[in-house]
Structure 1
Amino acid sequence: MSFLNLTPADIQAISFGFLFFVLAIAFFFLVTTAYRDPIARRYATLALFGGLINLFAFLYSTTDDLWLALLYRTVSQAFSIPFIAALILFSIVVYEKFKPANKVMRDIAYALVAIDALFLLPFLSDITGTNYLIGKLTESPAIQLTPEAGPYLIYFIGFFVVAVLFSFFVMFLLWRTGKSKEARIMGLLMILALEIPVMTRLAGYGPWYGYGANDYVSLFVTFLTGPIFAFGVTYAILRHQLFNIRLIATQVFIFALWGLLFFRVLLAPTLTDALPDIALLVATIVLGIFLIRSVLHEVTQREELERVSANLRDLNETLEEKVAERTGELADEKIHVETIIENLPVGIIELSAGEVIERINSTAEILLGITREEVTGKKVAEWGKEKAYQSLAAALSAKPKEERESAAEPLPASGSAELTITYPHEREIQVQRLPFKLGTRKGELVLIRDVTREKAIERSKNEFITIAAHQLRTPVSGLRWVFNILRSGELGKLNKDQKEVVESGDARAAEMVQLVNDFLNVARISDERFDYQFSKGDIHPLVESVRNGFAGVAEQKGVKFSATVDADVPEFMFDPEKISILLNNLVDNAIKYTQKGGMVSLSVSKEKGGIGISVTDSGIGIPKEEQKRLFEKFFRSRKATQMFTDGSGLGLFITKSVVDNHNGTIVVHSEEGVGTTFSVTLPLNPNGKPE
């Protein structure tokens, strides 16, 4: 029977040639456009080996040489080995794109690939003429469409069926159990466009055993296996936009040209006649691929440019909206900040680097009796002696307390000064200057605070403390006089218990006198009446007095006490009374907070440029977080309070004041449970008051 006057051999040749053509096109497109995608690479491998199977099957139909025809058909079937392996691995790759494959599935896949590789040996043997799988060829391929089946071919066909069923099962699982819609669609597409056509292709083994050898078998198989190429094209369209709608004219033209040349090759009467068309087909395939890729690249670039332009337009619109929104926010924030500055209870004057007044708030206007219109934009040096500007000039040229006796340098950065102004009203103010830098802009903020009420309260408090201390000193001194008379025995001899009571009372009275003295000293310091009488003298007698005064106390408590002065310590300028207070306070604290069996030492030495006084103990130590507050008025360490409830917390405050007024320094090094060292450094200035 014939079909369009074609013999069965012609139909078979056309079928194999068509499949080779479409699979070759699929391979070239996937390799050149989608090689980065693992599924596309696996499919390209399938297309490659499928194309080689059909190529050598096609060559079988083009020769009358029996040995060469048998070789072509053997090689064609041998390429089924890598095709089966590629099919198995392809199904695993597709499955794992959407969900992990379990160990059993992987083990079965690898086992099938290993068995598949074993069939390569008999195929290679058949090339030498053993006929294990591929039998003999006794007639021309134009008459005998396939060689005879070898005795073991049926086993290979059976294995082929098992491999295809495994691949089908994997895709069926993906279709039925895939969690995403894309996974289920991919599984179904694979079943329809790959698994079923490959199964149908197995019908091609029918003629090997004498079944279905008619004109329509090859065409039927061909048109069912064609969807393999359709799957590749569909996947490329959906996944990689291979057939871009903008390229459709170019693609249709090139595909039509390829198809025309391919069928010219198939219908050529001889290979010699087909050679020019084969060369032209190869050239058009190569040029067509490059043409489509170049057009696709150009279209892609144009689309990318359009996308970037659209994104830039959107970004520009968004940016403009954000800029407008942020500008509004900044304006609101500026108004908010200016409102806060304007209503602060502290006067603020902003000075530029050139001492020009840039800003002044309402509080500063009220305190200094000026208006911003009068002074903004003017230099500080421009103010004369007009009464209206006296307070402003005084505030801007104020000196810190420690520099009040020096002349006309302005208040240093971050320093503070207190002064009294008389215009528009008499007030006591505190002035502080803070430098700032914003980019290239530099300047200072002058902060002015009205402390009139605070000073009045502080004076009242100090007056109360002074009066109370003086009122307490007289009766306490009387008590000590009474205790001394009783202890002397002038009123009769005291027994042991009476002596202990008298001595305890006298000690308490002495502590009260010391507390009264501390209160008076603190009041004098606050009122700046803690006067100093500097004279050049020797510190040895003061240290000796401290040693004698605390020797009995230390011995009674069981603390080893030593006081030494290096021989090279020279005479220097100091206030003996105040340094005596300093030494007594430090040694008293050291002995008081050192347990029995501990050690306290006082040492005086000459240091570079000054005199060093060090008091070291092995006492309870001071917590690190409390050390920075040691010199605050009324502060006592937590551990000190637990050990001795008595104490005013004024001793170290007074000590720090003495050190400061000698222009010295005092530092503390302490560790809990180890001990404490107070180190005082006084400047050595034999020519006058310390500077």
Structure 2
Amino acid sequence: MTETSQQPAGDQVSRSILIVDDEAIIRDLCSKALKGYTVLQAGNGEEALEIFARGGVDVVLTDVMMPRMTGIELLKRLKEMDPTLVVIVMTGFAEKEIILNALKADADDFISKPLNLLQLKTAVDKALDKKALKEEVANLRNLDRLKSNFLSLISHKFRTPITSISLFLQNLSGGVYDPDNPESRRNLGLVYEESCYLERLVADLLAFTRVMDTGGLRLEPVLLGDLIMEALQSSREVPRRPGVETRFDLEPLPEFLFDREKISFAIKQVIDNAYKFSRETGSVVISLTRDGDLCRITVEDGGEGIAREELPKVFEKFYQVDIAKTGQIRGFGLGLYYARQFVRLHGGTITMESEPGRGTRVTITLPAQSPQQP
């Protein structure tokens, strides 16, 4: 494999073209015609698949007749790996069967041999435009899928408490309720809990609606220590764990520029989870430190912990850790997803370390930009 890298220009920045042909002279001619792009070369299909698997390839230009793996076979394999990939097929054969097979395999364009270098450059430019459209369509489909999943999730989350309340009201209207019966009083308490849960779900939905627009940042001077204390005071999870002690190690830091609403949301999600997954007794340790140009917030609990294989998933949309394996996790699974989005918007990172039975540590790292900085 060889790589030819010229200085990118304009909208060609970071665009990579993979040329696959068993003739080195053809690969070199194509490379010279594609000035302004990063050009990768492969002498056969297997080598091309290895290069593509490393990532960063925008367009593949492949010959049809090659040893070990034909261009049509390579085309099929590439489309399986990335349906939005644009593949241009080069061929010196005009057989109808070859063209049909390439079209069936979703070839995006054809170039005839001997090559017209101007035509090649034009075809690659058009291919990149087509790739952008394909990616936009794929993103719209993904948004539709996420919307459908979210609506399904909301329906499921609301159904359980509504059903419980409805059944109790049916019994009440039928004269089943007896205020002197301990079982009736217990059921009344459960219904009250379910109504409170419904109220929390609605509040969470409104909160997510406010923060889902992750477009820009409204920076203002913020004291991170104040945001931590506000998150604790407004948390619904802290009062539910009266046996959990809160310990602090907060370095007195000056004001830095952050989007107050977004960083406050991220901190609150991390703190809420620390108490939510704590045991009935124990402690949550919250620390705030500065390390050069970085601020670091760490929240550590001694709770149930998370299995190693689940750690990469916890920041995914709608993902919820089901420690008890009940399938009845409350909430929407969006808190940590948006927490990571907002921290990344600030140029920071959020990481999680955990071990089952030994608790979890979450660290938010943010750039410390002072108000007087340009």
Which bin holds the TM-score, normalised by the shorter protein? Answer: 0.5 to 0.7
User: Conserved in 2, the CA contact under 8 Å of 1:590 and 1:616?
Assistant: yes
> Is the contact between residue 593 and residue 640 of structure 1 (CA under 8 Å) also seen in structure 2?
no
2:351 is equivalent to residue 667 of structure 1: yes
Q: Which protein shows a greater Rg?
A: 1
1:621 equivalent in alignment to 2:305: yes
Assess if the C-alpha contact under 8 Å between 1:604 and 1:613 holds in 2. Answer: yes
Question: Which one of the candidate residues 314, 326, 337 is aligned to 2:70?
Answer: 337
**Which residue is equivalent to 1:391?**
126
Correspondent of 2:205 among 510, 516, 533: 516
Q: Which deviations, in whole Å up to 9, do the C-alpha atoms of 1:98-125 show, x marking residues without a partner?
A: xxxxxxxxxxxxxxxxxxxxxxxxxxxx
Higher relative contact order (CA 8 A, sep 6+): 2
Residue deviations 1:589-609, cap 9 Å, x none? 110111111111222221221
8 Å contact kept, 2:237–2:272: no
Q: Deviations over 1:501-546 (max 9, x none)?
A: 7863553133212442466478x46xxx554322232223211212
The 1-side partners of 2:355 and 2:74 are apart by 45
Deviations 1:206-229 (A, max 9, x none): xxxxxxxxxxxxxxxxxxxxxxxx
Alignment partners' CA distance in 1, 2:356 and 2:278: 12
Aligned position for 2:86: 347
- Aligned mate of 1:639, from 323, 338, 353: 323
Q: 1:376 to 1:595 in 2, by over 3 A?
A: farther
Change (3 A) 1:589 1:457: closer
Secondary structure of residue in 2 paired with 1:588: helix
Q: Is the 8 A contact 2:255 2:371 kept in 1?
A: no
Partner letter of residue 429 of structure 1?
Answer: K
Q: 2:105 aligned with 1:372, yes or no?
A: no
| 2:97 alignment partner in structure 1 | none
Q: Secondary structure at the match of 1:639?
A: coil
Within a 5 Å distance, the mapping from 1:554-573 to structure 2 comes to 554=239, 556-563=241-248, 565-567=250-252, 569-573=253-257
Paired AA for residue 507 in structure 1: C
Change (3 A) 1:375 1:559: farther
- Using the TM superposition, give the Cα deviation of residue 573 of structure 1 relative to its aligned residue in structure 2, in angstroms: 1.7
Partner of 1:543: 228
Q: Aligned equivalents of 1:530 and 1:641: distance in 2?
A: 36
Q: 1:377 to 1:544 in 2, by over 3 A?
A: farther
- Higher strand share goes to which structure? 2
| Distance 1:640-1:531 versus aligned 2 partners, 3 A rule | farther
Q: Secondary structure at the match of 1:334?
A: coil
Instruction: Show structure 1 runs of 5+ residues with no match.
Output: 1-330, 351-360, 396-417, 420-427, 431-450, 477-496
Gaps of 5+ in 2: 1-63, 90-101, 162-184
CA contact 1:466–1:519 (8 Å) conserved in 2: no
* Number of residue pairs the alignment of both structures matches: 268
Q: Do the aligned residues in 2 keep the contact of 1:621 with 1:671 (CA within 8 Å)?
A: yes
2:290 corresponds in structure 1 to: 606
Q: CA deviation at 1:652?
A: 1.4
How far did residue 371 of structure 1 move? Answer: 3.7
- The aligned counterpart of 1:429 is 134
Residue deviations 1:394-419 (CA, integer Å, cap 9, x gap)? 47xxxxxxxxxxxxxxxxxxxxxx83
Alpha-carbon distance between aligned partners in 1 of 2:114 and 2:217, rounded to the nearest angstrom: 43
Q: Could you say if the C-alpha distance between residues 338 and 635 of structure 1 is closer, same or farther in structure 2, counting changes exceeding 3 Å?
A: same
Distance 1:380 1:540 in 2: 61
Q: Is the 8 A contact 2:237 2:275 kept in 1?
A: no
SS at match of 1:372: strand
Give me the whole-angstrom Cα distance separating, in 2, the residues matched to 1:504 and 1:656. 31
Report if the CA contact (8 A) 2:322-2:329 is conserved. no
> CA separation in 2, counterparts of 1:377 and 1:573?
55
TM-score (normalised: structure 1): 0.33
> Could you report, residue by residue, the CA deviation over 1:462-515 in whole angstroms, capped at 9, with x for unpaired residues?
38958997xx99xx9xxxxxxxxxxxxxxxxxxxx7996786355313321244
Shift of 1:333: 7.5
Higher helix share: 1
SS in 2 for 1:570: coil
Percent sequence identity over matched residues?
23
Kept after mapping to 2: 8 A contact 1:347/1:362:
no
State which of 267, 277, 286 in structure 2 corresponds to 1:583.
267
User: Are the counterparts in 2 of residues 348 and 364 from structure 1 also a CA contact under 8 Å?
Assistant: no
Aligned pair in 2 of structure 1 residues 542, 391: CA closer, same or farther (>3 Å)?
same
Cα distance 1:541–1:510, how it changes in 2: closer, same or farther (>3 A)? farther
Cα distance between partner residues in 1 of 2:281 and 2:270: 19
Give the alignment of 1:493-512 within 5 angstroms.
504-505=193-194, 507-512=196-201
